[in-house]
Amino acid sequence: MKEYWTMLASLMGALAFLQGVLHAVFPAELRAALARLLGRLTRAFSPYCYFDVTETDGMSNNEIYDAVQLYLSSTAAPASGARLSLTRPHNATSFTFGLAASDRVVDAFRGAAVTWEHVVAPRQSPGFSWRPLPEEKRRFTLRIRRGDREKLLPAYLDHILATAQEIRRRSQDRLLYTNARGGAMDSRGLPWDPVPFKHPSTFDTLAMDPERKASIMADLRDFAAGSSFYERTGRAWKRGYLLYGPPGTGKSSMIAAMANFLGYDVYDLELTEVSSNAELRKLLMKTTSKSIIVIEDIDCSVDLTNRAALPPAPKPRPTLDGAIDQDVGTASGRSITLSGLLNFTDGLWSCCGSERIFVFTTNHIEKLDPALLRSGRMDMHVFMSYCTFPALKILLKNYLCLEDSADDGAEVMRGLEEWIEAAEITPADVSEVLIKNRRNGKERAMEELLEVLKARAEKRRLDGGKVAAAAAPRDNDEEEEEKRALESPKEGKGPAGKNSCGDGQDEETDAKKQL
């Protein structure tokens, strides 16, 4: 075997020498023809096979060339000394590295090594063309062992195309879509308005217990990588999260962190702008996969109460997909109902498109209809709690750059640990105190925070457990009231479906009665 390789090497050397001699003696055309012939001979004896991916495919750009370029820029290891070209595509948030002319990279797939070479040659006699052609011809040449051919092709190319698509998506700006135009479509027939989504919240900056955070991240990771799982089990590739907890505990921040973590776009569905279940379906059908569909303050968004004012409704009947139709009895069905919403998340309509996450948020889980909470509807219920000590440490790190291991203010730190639970303070309030005091030095800011915690805990103690418990929701209600007044100034806009949070308690009772 060794002799074979030595012979092959000598043959190659001789051929190269012959090529040099020919170069000196023969005209260019003849030389080119001979070079092609020699190339063919060399390849016939080679243990490798070669595949060219040219930059253009006839008149149009070759999609595979672009994909290979993107793929190699991020995954394969350039040979030492390789030159990389640096680009930033339009509307992209990050740079990409490309392989410069004549450089090679090595990659591996299913245990087989492959080599890519970027070949750039001057274009000869361009001839006639309808459009200006680049002065150079570029191509990637893939070299794989003959024996690996079956194993690698076409799976390796599929893998490259999929990876490149994912890289392209991740390097683009995230988009936040809103349906603030009501049901009206834009000139392209889309009901959603996109704006660039640049929310800085990430799972690193999110203050919550590390174990719970890790379990949510693992769940999201499994979901994103679960294509074959969902296919095998016959489930729609979607997941529902219900985030609940007092205002200012990080529900919206968690949604932004999820979007940044997965690289998904966000559809912020304003239910108060949707006038019927049919419109809701249209909106759903116009969402893309790899997205998070958010309904904030769900307890304020779906109005079930109007049914109470209507004549006694017939019994709820199961719909095609098993959801209970609670639409019955609403005024001519021209409104958003719980059943419409459940179909949207859970029923047949939820399967339009794939890889989508639904997130509902509420400050009052107890006000939610049990139909929305039953198992299988929302896969994960996440309680966003008042600030705990582990969460506080994350906030101290974010705002004061205070590392976990630091000795700064060890005494104050112990005090914070002691008082944080008793103070029942939200991460938003802690953040406020830290922002206000961030110029006064770490220790001063922590001392100030400790004072606030003690004062709050003391107030709660004086109010007495019962009064404090009663007061807390009222505070929340007031905050919500304010928020709603700001968000939806169009009061009395319509019957069901329009935001009518004003009297949450009564609505809840009415809704439950009706069910």
Ligand X SMILES: Nc1ncnc2c1ncn2[C@@H]1O[C@H](COP(=O)(O)OP(=O)(O)OP(=O)(O)O)[C@@H](O)[C@H]1O
Residue ranges binding ligand X (CB under 6 A): 205-208, 247-253, 363, 384, 427-428, 431
302 touches, from ligand X, Mg ion, none (C-beta below 5 to 8 Å by class): none
Q: 248 is in the binding site of which of ligand X, Mg ion, none (Cβ under 5 to 8 A by kind)?
A: ligand X
Among residues 256 and 400, whose Cβ is nearest to Mg ion? Answer: 256
Strand 112-122 versus strand 104-109 pairing type: antiparallel
Number of residues engaging Mg ion in binding (CB under 5 A): 2
Of Mg ion, ligand X, none, which one does residue 343 interact with (CB within 5 to 8 Å by kind)? none
CA distances to 429, 436, 456, 470 from 420, rounded to whole Å, are 12, 19, 10, 20
Q: Closest CB to ligand X among 152 and 254?
A: 254
Nearest Cα residue to 402 out of 194, 68, 410, 44: 410
**Which residues, listed in sequence order, are joined to residue 177 by a DSSP beta bridge?**
194, 267
**Closest to 139 (Cα-Cα) out of 113, 85, 94, 102:** 102
The nearer residue to ligand X, 56 or 205, going by C-beta atoms, is 205
Binding partner of 364, given ligand X, Mg ion, none, CB within 5-8 angstroms per partner class: none
Q: Which is nearer to ligand X, 429 or 510 (CB)?
A: 429
Task: Compare residues 160 and 300 and give the one whose CB is closer to Mg ion.
Answer: 300
Name the DSSP class of 133.
P
CB 251 to Mg ion: min, Å:
5
Q: How far is the CB of 201 from Mg ion (least distance, A)?
A: 11
Nearer to Mg ion (CB atom), residue 179 or residue 252: 252
Q: What is the largest CA-CA distance in the chain?
A: 104
Q: Which is nearer to ligand X, 139 or 251 (CB)?
A: 251
Q: How far, CA to CA in Å, does 252 sit from each of 257, 338, 398?
A: 9, 23, 18
Residue nearest to Mg ion (CB): 252
The token duo for 5 is 């390789």
Give least dist CB 252 to Mg ion, A: 3
> CA 118, CA 142: separation in Å to the nearest integer?
9
Select from 42-50, 244-252, 379-387, 416-424 the region that touches Mg ion (CB under 5 A). Answer: 244-252
Among the listed ranges 64-72, 251-259, 285-293, 343-351, the one in contact with Mg ion (CB under 5 A) is 251-259
Chosen from ligand X, Mg ion, none, partner binding at 283 (C-beta under 5 to 8 Å by type): none
CB of 321 to ligand X, least distance (A): 31
What is the closest distance, in whole angstroms, from the C-beta atom of residue 207 to ligand X in the complex? Answer: 3
Measured between alpha carbons, how far apart are the two ends of the chain, in Å?
82
206 binds, among Mg ion, ligand X, none (CB under 5 to 8 A by kind): ligand X
73 contacts Mg ion (rule: CB under 5 A): no
**Closest distance of CB 467 from ligand X, Å:** 23
Query: How far are the Cα atoms of 101, 119, 126, 137, 192 from residue 132, in angstroms, in the given order?
Result: 21, 21, 9, 13, 38
Residue 52 DSSP SS3:
strand
Q: Looking at 172-244, list the stretches that DSSP marks H as alpha helix, in order from N- to C-terminal side.
A: 210-224, 227-233
In angstroms, the CA 399 to CA 397 distance is 6
- What is the phi/psi pair of residue 269, to 5°? -85, 115
Q: Binding segment for Mg ion among 227-235, 245-253, 391-399, 478-486 (CB under 5 A)?
A: 245-253
Question: Using the rule CB under 5 A, is 500 a contact of Mg ion?
Answer: no
Closest CB to ligand X among residues 118, 364:
364
Residue tagged 């439950």 (tokens)? 512
Question: By three-state DSSP, how is residue 292 classified?
Answer: strand
* 270 C-beta neighbours (distance < 10 Å), count: 18
Nearer Cβ to ligand X (463/479): 479
User: The tokens of 432 are what?
Assistant: 């406020």
431 binds, among Mg ion, ligand X, none (CB under 5 to 8 A by kind): ligand X
CB of 293 to ligand X, least distance (A): 16
Distance CA 99, CA 286 (A): 38
Nearer to ligand X, 272 or 431 (CB): 431
Nearer to Mg ion by C-beta: 167 or 254?
254
Determine, following the binding rule CB under 5 A, whether residue 426 of this chain makes contact with Mg ion. Answer: no
253 binds, among ligand X, Mg ion, none (CB under 5 to 8 A by kind): ligand X
Task: Point out the residue whose Cβ comes nearest to ligand X.
Answer: 250
Least separation in angstroms between CB 69 and Mg ion: 41
Please report whether residue 252 would count as binding Mg ion according to CB under 5 A: yes
CB crowding 318-334: b at 16 or more within 10 Å, else e: ebeeebbbbbbbbeeee
State the Cα angle at 160 between 157 and 166, rounded to 5°. Answer: 145
- How many other CB atoms sit within 10 Å of the CB of residue 314? 8
Residues in contact with Mg ion by the rule CB under 5 A: 251-252
